[in-house]
Chain A
Amino acid sequence: MKSAVIVFPGSNREGDVVRALKQAGSDVQKVWHADHELPKGTDLVVLPGGFSYGDYLRCGAIAGRAAVMDAVRAHAARGGLVLGICNGFQILCESGLLPGILMRNANLKFICHRQFLKVERNDTAFTKAYAQGQAIDVCVAHGEGNYTADAETLKRLEGEGLVAFRYCDAQGHVTADANRNGSMNSIAGIYSTKLNVLGMMPHPENLIEDLVGGTDGRGLFESLVSSFPHAA
């Protein structure tokens, strides 16, 4: 499988996600934000975490209009896979690839901590290595992760099964205490209508080794790589 990780000025978790993709067996290339094309044969586009353009104006707002995003939108329109993590999720919302917006955390502070997520469905390219309803132990690190959308959008997301992950406790219970950033419906990640674009606030790429806390994040990258059994 071939992954393209987009680097914006201010991206800072691109190295982390490159490491996770390589560990899962993907071929990875970094792509500069000013490029107009993706590398030939790109299967997966990743928008990494960070503070693109310093989070100035609005998180993801400037990056959402970068030159390379036209190519990313075209890739998504062809059914190509796109994964946005943290700032990448914010960029996906700002670029129109996903609905809703990420607001300031409910406590108005940046928070970095370990976090369980409930896997809502395991029949997508991103989650097939997990069990449905499984609680996975990953981490969050954001100041603006409070997912917000209008009532109609929320209803559609829920109705069409487009919620990918919810904040939960270790037993998989979706509780108010587990939803520290205050996201609507405890939403931690959502899919596009065709299930080929995933945006999520938590960082599976930082939980891929026992030495640094656990391996529950691996499943996401292994799912993606296994979606391309014949690719290099």
Chain B
Amino acid sequence: MIRNDVAITPELVKEHGLKADEYDRFVKLIGREPTLTELGIVSAMWNEHCSYKSSRIHLRGLPTKAPWVIQGPGENAGVIDIGDGLACIFKMESHNHPSFIEPYQGAATGVGGILRDVFTMGARPIAALNFLRFGEPDHPKTPHLVSGVVAGIGGYGNSFGVPTVGGSVGFDKRYNGNILVNAMAVGLARTDEIFYAKATGVGNPIVYLGSKTGRDGIHGATMASAEFDDASEEKRPTVQVGDPFAEKLLLEACLELMKSGAVIAIQDMGAAGLTSSAVEMGAKGNLGVELDLDKVPCREEGMTAYEMMLSESQERMLMVLKPGMEKQAEAIFHKWGLDFAVIGKTTDTLRFVIKHQGEVKADLPIKELGDEAPVYDRPWVESPRQPVIAADSVKAPVSEAEALLKLVGSPDQCSKRWVWEQYDHLILGNTVQVPGGDAAIVRVEDGPKGLALTTDVTPRYCEADPFEGGKQAVAEAWRNITAVGGLPLAITDNLNFASPERPESMGQFVGCLKGIGEACRALDFPVVSGNVSLYNETNGQGILPTPAIGGVGLLDDVTVNASIAFKDEGEAIILIGATSGWLGQSIYLRDVCGREEGAPPPVDLAEERRNGDFVRQLIRSGQVKTVHDCSDGGIALALAEMAMAGCVGAEITAVPETMPLHAFLFGEDQARYLIAVDEDVAADILYAAGAVGIPAVTLGVTGGDSLILPGQQAISVKQLKNAHEAWLPEYMAGKA
């Protein structure tokens, strides 16, 4: 019988984030009252963050398979085959709550956690990306959060030595009390040298590696599963502190140890630390696990079993080793100056047994801790449909040229150079396209292949119509990869939503997921990894539904790619795809007209695929080197970005008379690309598009040092650039 020193009161259960019925379920499962350590363990395993209890039934609808998928969701990261015996391993994960409380460390450990997920599987990280959303610029906390988060991401990734090559930064009042910090990591491994969490063999040593265990981050995963209120900053002690130097050493030591053939299974200690890593390894392998906590390397004296099991100290790993190889493994870890300790073994009992100072502190059924977690089919309601806003019902408050100048210098559309210059985006010498384009491109080793990488979602679309918004998020990631010449292969999704206990936000979640699933199926773009972050709300105000999509695509020849910059004078500018002048939920309607309303643009997935395949083929055949997809701000913003990137102007002369000019220029119809090509090739492309029924029209020609929109005053490229580059640095300096 286990000694039980602490009475488990209803208050204590509540403090652990467990509902009364969940606790009852647990007591029934183990047939007695739990010890405090056991209560801690179950609270860690059954919280939303670790158990996916509200989301699980909806996640089942996502497509996760394709011939090139080696490992879908359920492991530390997803794995896809990119040919030549190489696998690309990637995942995106949120660190929203910690980053709001302590922006530098919250963001830094978010990056650390996702890098660890990738190298746990045997991959060397080759690129990092992120997806960030902050509150409105005028909110007093926003500059401090931007500054801390950006420095934290850079501080960790730069020291670790991975290039941060892409991302997305935006502002909205709906994130005032709850920012989003989603980090994505991408790594490379040989397809026959991938490591998994599943333990095998009875009596094999379980080894603790990396940094020592301290009292930091206890209950971090539980915090991540709670709503915020005004007292949330008191939760600062639950935020962990990152040490990128220790992580770099851990990477090198792990990869060296994996090469030695000693590793059977490996799991990083992320959310819920030692508890969740040990349970996962055992449960996946149908094995019991016995740990002796006296052997755990501790940073502080007098740590209890409860504290050790729930600590979220960073830069730690758990491994099952082949018996007899402990000495060899230890030598590698000591060479890198890291802790190494055999702390337990696998058993055939299917029990999770924790011993400390000669006493059994926990003895729980291991499979049930994971598999028997509650699963909820939460009530949800469909979001109300928004009316379609007719193009000619929106009057232009200012000239198109003025509107464009305003948009290029607006918080959401301005240059994010201030951010990405704080990230080392050039280390490893393989960054073919730096931040600022449609997708980043990194070369794979010494070539010839390359990966196209992007993160994207349009939260205002998701709120107005979760289903179309979910589709659009996937379609846009697919389009970004296509626009640089990549073949989109798979995604990781980071589903950021408000409380699942409110039917409205649960309805947004359900709707977005349906849309994501439908788009993934139509575009052969399966989900291979992801993360769900719910309860993103403060004092009852939820965030915009934000299912961030991280996309990965492949370039067979990385030297054959396209970028957004106009490269030459006298090139024809061709628009691919149909334009209806869709202004509902557009940036123009929001930022120029001051109206946040209407249905978002619908996504026709067949059209999306047809247009994208056509553009990709133009790039791959070497005919086209300049491509930009049309998204926020429509054709006009895309043109401005192409002109600024290349320092080449353009004149637009041919526009349809069937719709108002501002609707044509700023409408956000989907599945569209702008390309610029030599005038000799233009006719062939128009003909080829026509032959397969793809709308394609010439809008104008590149050249000069100004962007000239029809009937508008010329805007010099310099003027555009000044506006584009000015806002963020001035804002951060307290001037904007």
Contact = CB atoms under 8 A, between A and B. Distances in A.
Contacts of B155: 110
B245 A112 contact: no
Contact of A10 (B159, B424, B432): B159
Interface stretch (A11-19, A65-73, A167-175, A189-197): A11-19
Contact of A9 (B249, B423, B443, B559): B249
Given A53-B245, A141-B427, A206-B427, A110 B558 contact: no
Contacts of B558: 211
B160 A212 contact: no
B470 interface: no
B426 A112 contact: yes
Nearest to B243: A54
Given A9-B337, A12-B160, A211-B432, A112 B243 contact: no
A208 B159 CA distance: 23
B185 interface: no
A150 to B, nearest CB: 30
A54 B244 contact: yes
B428 A15 contact: yes
Contacts of B336: 9
B257 to A, nearest CB: 16
Interface-central residue, B336, B427, B559, by most chain A CB under 10 Å: B427
Nearest to A205: B429
Interface string B594-618: 0000000000000000000000000
Contacts of A209: 429
Nearest to B431: A212
B245 A12 contact: no
A51 B157 CA distance: 11
B425 interface: yes
Interface-central residue, B151, B420, B428, B429, by most chain A CB under 10 Å: B429
Contacts of B410: none
Size class of A's contact patch? 20 to 34
B424 A110 contact: yes
A113 B417 CA distance: 10
B422 A109 contact: yes
B126 to A, nearest CB: 11
A139 interface: yes
B421 A113 contact: yes
Contacts of A112: 158, 420-426
B161 interface: yes
Nearest to A13: B427
B151 A109 contact: yes
Interface-central residue, A49, A50, A212, by most chain B CB under 10 Å: A212
B248 A206 contact: no
Contacts of A16: 427-429
B373 to A, nearest CB: 38
Contacts of B424: 110, 112, 141
A48 to B, nearest CB: 11
Interface string A96-118: 00000000000001111100000
B430 A212 contact: yes
Interface string B335-348: 01100000000000
B154 interface: yes
B158 A141 contact: yes
Interface string B151-188: 10011001111000000000000000000000000000
Contacts of A206: 426-427, 429
A205 B151 CA distance: 25
Interface in A48-99: 49-51, 53-56
Nearest to A208: B429
A15 B158 CA distance: 15
A211 B559 CA distance: 7
B159 A51 contact: yes
Interface in B382-425: 420-425
B248 A12 contact: yes
Contacts of B161: 12-13, 50-51
Interface in B225-244: 243-244
A19 B427 CA distance: 12
A12 B427 contact: yes
A105 B427 CA distance: 19
A144 to B, nearest CB: 12
Nearest to B247: A54
Contacts of B430: 212
A10 B245 contact: yes
Contacts of A166: none
A203 interface: yes
A87 B300 CA distance: 32
B245 A9 contact: yes
Contacts of A50: 161
Interface-central residue, A111, A112, A143, A213, by most chain B CB under 10 Å: A112
Contact of A19 (B151, B244, B429): B429
Contacts of A9: 245, 248-249, 336-337
Contacts of A53: 245
A16 B429 CA distance: 6
A5 to B, nearest CB: 14
Interface in A205-232: 205-206, 208-209, 211-213
Interface in B44-88: none
B249 A51 contact: no
B443 A211 contact: yes
B426 A56 contact: no
Contact of A55 (B159, B246, B428): B159
Contacts of B154: 110
Given A10-B245, A12-B161, A212 B427 contact: no
Contacts of A15: 428
A206 B424 CA distance: 12
Contacts of B151: 109-110
B607 to A, nearest CB: 33
B245 A51 contact: yes
Interface in B418-474: 420-432, 443, 447
Given A9-B337, A51-B158, A212 B429 contact: yes
B154 to A, nearest CB: 5
B426 A141 contact: yes
B581 to A, nearest CB: 39
Contact of B245 (A56, A113, A211): A56
A141 B434 CA distance: 14
A51 B249 CA distance: 11
A212 B246 CA distance: 30
Contacts of A141: 158, 424, 426-427
A56 B246 CA distance: 11
A75 B246 CA distance: 31
A10 B248 contact: yes
A51 B245 CA distance: 8
Contacts of B160: 12
Contact of B158 (A110, A139, A205, A212): A110
A206 B431 CA distance: 10
Interface string B97-129: 000000000000000000000000000000000
Contacts of B426: 112, 139, 141, 203, 206, 212-213
A110 B248 CA distance: 19
A19 B429 CA distance: 9
Contacts of A13: 161, 427
Contacts of B423: 110, 112
Interface-central residue, B159, B245, B425, B426, by most chain A CB under 10 Å: B426
A15 B425 CA distance: 15
Given A110-B154, A212-B426, 14 more contacts: A12-B161, A50-B161, A51-B159, A53-B245, A54-B243, A54-B245, A55-B159, A109-B151, A110-B422, A112-B422, A141-B426, A205-B429, A206-B429, A212-B432
Interface of A: 9-10, 12-13, 15-16, 19, 49-51, 53-56, 109-113, 139, 141, 143, 203, 205-206, 208-209, 211-213
5 contacts: A16-B427, A111-B422, A211-B443, A212-B426, A212-B431
- Closest 8 interchain pairs by CB? A54-B245, A12-B161, A51-B159, A141-B424, A112-B424, A16-B429, A206-B429, A206-B426
